[in-house]
Chains A and B, each alone.
Chain A
Amino acid sequence: MDAKIVVLASLFYLILLFMIAMYAIRSANNGRSIVNNPYIYALSLAVYCTAWTFYGSVGRAAQTGFSFVGVYLGPTITAPLWYMLMRKVILISKKLHITSVVDFISSRYGKSTFLGFITTIFLVIGIIPYISIQLKAIGSSFDIITQHFSDATFWDSNVFYRDKVNYFTILLAIFTILFGTRHLDPNERHEGLIAAIAFESIIKLGTFLIGGIFVVYFVFDGFSDIFSQAAANTNTSRLITFAEGPRSSANWFWVLVLSAVSAFFLPRQFHVAVVENTNVSFVRQASWMFPLYMLVINIFVLPIAIAGLLKLPTNAESDMFLLSLPLSEGHSWIALLIYIGGFSAAASMVVVSVISLSIMVSNNLLMPFLLKTKSAKHASSGALSNASLQIRRIIIVVILFLSYMFYKLVSYNYPLVSIGLISFAAILQLFPALIGGLFWQRANKKGAIFGILAGFVIWCITLPIPTLAESGIIDPKLISEGYFSLSFLKPYALFGLDQMDSISHSCFWSMVFNITTFVGFSMFTDQDVDELTQADIYMNIEKYTDNPDIEIIKKEASAKRLKQLLFRFLGAEKATAVLNAYDGKISSTDDDKATSEFINYVERILSGAFGAASAKLLISPNIRQQTISIEQIREVLNQTKEIIEYSHALENRTEELQRTTIELAQVNKQLQHLDELKAEFISTVTHELRTPITTIRSFTQMLEKKTDLSPEKRKEFLHIILKECDRVKRLINQVLDVEKLDNHEGNMGKTHVNSTLQFAIDRLMPVIDEKNITLTVKFPDIHSTVNLDEDKLLQVFLNLLTNAIKFCDTQEGKIHISGVTDAHTLKLSFTNNGKPIPVGFMPQLFQKFTQVKDGNLAKPEGSGLGLFITKAYIERAGGTINVFSSEAQGTTFELVFPKDR
């Protein structure tokens, strides 16, 4: 493709990014932030996927198969823990206005200027190679896409002013300066930049998928075609399995560890995940969205690597397969899209990394020295703020220049992934101090400083220095002979350990030295006052988040002087804005004495703008601090902790009491309901008892007084008396049955279903005939039995039949009884064509003392115990009862018994 088109496309894309960033800034100024949502947050985390992912993963897959994927699985494995860890980190950072990972470390260890200084130097050395591979990716992709026009082109990598990477680097520097150093923000948040990064994440994912789909479905016939061809080819069959062995297992393990740590503690990742975070709960959604992004972007990596090996010439650069494949097939426009995706991946990483590094270098390397100069002490209002911005702009240019130089001298000859992993190993050196600072009270400044220094030295002698030796910049004999010609100091076989690859070897030894030194110094040396108070904040951030400002050390300062400090260092506009945003009391009384809350606020604002260490230098001359011993401060912290714990315990107790009150109210409500039911039951039972007793009494009276009654009449009266006696007996039996059920009494037996059902029907047949009800029975002629006494099963059937008679249609009553049996169950149905049971009544249908207020009867008959007893008996037999009721189908009670064998 013509280089002019590629350059124009790159420029157009950068202009588009400018426009998106500007739109986001304008929206934020109008109070409508477009980045304040979890999706943009998750997309901004995808800045993790750089040119390394876009091009390098394919190159790595083409060389070693599956090993490329470890870099994405590491963060995914730790994703379930993100919310626990990152919530703490974000809360601390918001509380203390922390603006970089170096600030986070130096602040924890007593706002140490020296710790900030060495960590910054170390990170700059560690990250520059990583930035350089992005520049390499831009250069290589430009060369590949324009290769057919190379003879006629102006571009020549060997001539400085004709090197396209040069110009791309300048463009990226302009973009970074425009959106990363617009003003000195105490929160270091950049809405425009984050919007652009999120957009770039979409572009790189989209274009990678386009490239993958093209290769898999247009160059080949799908995944199975590629993989089956790979399996059949001796050159590619190794890629569909892991190359096992101690070296690859160790490498896999360390890549998982490195990537898990880097996904959050690389300076750019810390910047987007912590500094730019607007809502801590976004971490919840990002913990699955970001791994999902990585899963999707990696689906096509291995197929593309295999396709490249199968289709492209053997001398084709494997890192650039994604771009070369569409070009070799004559689809240069698809190649252009992929080029833009790769450019996007590289550009986003470069911009965010350089911004985060510039903040670190400015706040931790240069500002502490600048503040000690005479000119800084007499600087006019806002001069230092402007100086800080100017310094950052210069740092951006310097870092990009150094990265460019590293690319020209070293990275040019190495695969993208190899250099990237060296940077990851650098970040690992901060991990012990970071995690120790968060979870180990005793972790102290000396431990952190010496641990990081030890790790850094080992990292240097085992990775970057031998890499420089391999590229011929220093003597290559170093690798074979060792440092100072000592064989136990060979950079890739330190102390004779030669069973590991270079990355695992470096990680192993650097961690051994780093952790041992960190723990050793922390155990055997003491913390100072600042370290102790900061450690308490980091360990117990929850108590500081819930409480506005806990005063550990009494501080005194002039409110007027603190305000002047803000105006002097932030400038009038910014200082006025931060003072307006402060909603606490500035001075405790009418005099000029600042409140401790205001002193802390000013310090935090200055920390945000200049870093914790510089802020300490700025504010210290303006405050008088109570002299306090370590023991006293420990006592204060313990007391504070006890008070907070007591307060939390009280809160928990109150919550518990509230829960108990709610539960008691519910129980009380249930008891009231039961009481109402019982009262209703007593009323029903006494009514039911009084009716037959009244009848018995009146007929007995008649028999006594009317001696002239005919024998037929006497017989008829006696029959009525007997019937009413039975009714009384039945009612009393039911009440006794319920009591037995409540006490879980009763014998179990086996009862024949057919004969018992027939017996129940025979007993009720006179009533059925009397009411002109049509009864149909469809029951298979089988001899099934159920595990229930005969009396109880009879009562179940009588209850259901009585109910059916009671509630079936008064004009044309119909009752249908049916039975179905299979290998395991026996199903019986009792259906009547009466009015349906009200839906609202269904839930309490089988409860004690409840009766349907049906339309057929003015007052319900019976005790309200029939269905309760029926259900209890059926369940005792291991069965279930269901009810279905509708206007069209009537009401059906369905009994399902397990078949007795």
Chain B
Amino acid sequence: MLQWRRELRWAIFFIGGFGLSFPFLSLWNKSILILGFPLMYVYIWITWGLLIYFTYILSKKKR
């Protein structure tokens, strides 16, 4: 279980790292507004929020 959590931490780290780096970021680099927000703004803040959420899930103590 501990090993699994550790692997999950690394997985989230790598997914976050790739998701928020070039060239992956280029996919969202367009002059488009989604509901009034730039596409890149929406992408970065949603990915940021998801990373925090997954870290929160991992930070919970195993019961």
Contact = CB atoms under 8 A, between A and B. Distances in A.
Contact of B36 (A228, A287, A291, A292): A228
A614 to B, nearest CB: 37
Most buried by A among B17, B38, B58: B38
B9 A288 contact: no
B37 interface: yes
Given A224-B33, A224-B36, A244-B29, A291 B21 contact: no
A495 interface: no
Nearest to A293: B52
A103 B31 CA distance: 49
A78 interface: yes
A256 B17 CA distance: 9
Given A241-B29, A299-B45, A80 B36 contact: no
A842 B22 CA distance: 58
A666 B26 CA distance: 57
Interface string A409-450: 000000000000000000000000000000000000000000
Contacts of A83: 9, 58-59
Interface in B21-63: 21-23, 25-26, 29-31, 33, 35-38, 40-41, 44-45, 48-49, 51-56, 58-61
A780 interface: no
B33 to A, nearest CB: 6
Given A76-B51, A253-B21, A256-B21, A224 B35 contact: yes
Contacts of A287: 55, 58-59
A79 interface: yes
Contact of B48 (A80, A222, A295): A295
Contacts of B38: 227, 231, 240-241
Nearest to B36: A224
Contacts of B37: 223-224, 227
Most buried by B among A69, A73, A77, A295: A77
Given A78-B13, A295-B45, A241 B40 contact: yes
B55 A291 contact: yes
Interface in A225-241: 225, 227-228, 231, 237, 240-241
A240 B29 CA distance: 9
A252 B12 contact: no
B36 A241 contact: no
Contacts of B13: 77-78, 80-81
Contacts of B10: 80-81
Interface in A286-305: 287-288, 291-292, 295, 299, 302
A242 B30 CA distance: 9
A253 B22 CA distance: 8
Given A78-B13, A295-B45, A240 B54 contact: no
B57 to A, nearest CB: 9
A829 B30 CA distance: 58
A231 B38 CA distance: 9
Contacts of A240: 31, 33, 38, 40-41
A288 B59 contact: yes
B36 A223 contact: yes
B52 A291 contact: yes
A252 B22 contact: yes
A66 interface: yes
Interface residues of B, number: 38
A803 interface: no
B9 A256 contact: no
A77 B41 CA distance: 17
Contacts of B23: 249
A848 interface: no
A80 B33 contact: no
B41 A79 contact: no
B6 A84 contact: yes
Nearest to A74: B20
Interface residues of A, number: 37
A285 interface: yes
Most buried by A among B10, B12, B22, B45: B22
Contact of A295 (B17, B30, B40, B52): B52
B26 A244 contact: yes
Given A76-B16, A227-B38, A228-B33, A69 B58 contact: no
Contacts of A66: 40-41, 44
A884 B58 CA distance: 39
Nearest to A294: B48
Contacts of A291: 48, 51-52, 55
Contacts of A252: 21-22, 25
B36 to A, nearest CB: 2
A349 B22 CA distance: 31
Contacts of A295: 45, 48-49, 52
Contact of A76 (B21, B29, B48): B48
A827 interface: no
B20 A73 contact: yes
Contacts of A69: 44
Contacts of A299: 45
A256 B19 CA distance: 12
Contact of B55 (A80, A223, A228): A80
Contacts of B9: 80-81, 83-84
B33 A227 contact: yes
**A-B pairs with lowest CB-CB distance, top 5:** A224-B36, A240-B38, A288-B56, A249-B22, A284-B59
Given A69-B44, A295-B48, 19 more contacts: A66-B40, A66-B41, A77-B13, A77-B17, A78-B13, A80-B9, A80-B54, A84-B6, A223-B36, A224-B35, A227-B33, A242-B29, A285-B59, A288-B52, A291-B52, A292-B52, A295-B45, A295-B49, A302-B41
Interface of A: 66, 69, 73, 76-81, 83-84, 222-225, 227-228, 231, 237, 240-242, 244, 249, 252-253, 256, 281, 284-285, 287-288, 291-292, 295, 299, 302
25 contacts: A66-B41, A66-B44, A69-B44, A73-B48, A76-B51, A77-B51, A80-B9, A80-B51, A81-B9, A83-B9, A83-B58, A84-B6, A222-B36, A224-B33, A240-B31, A241-B38, A242-B26, A249-B22, A249-B23, A252-B25, A253-B21, A256-B20, A285-B59, A287-B58, A288-B53
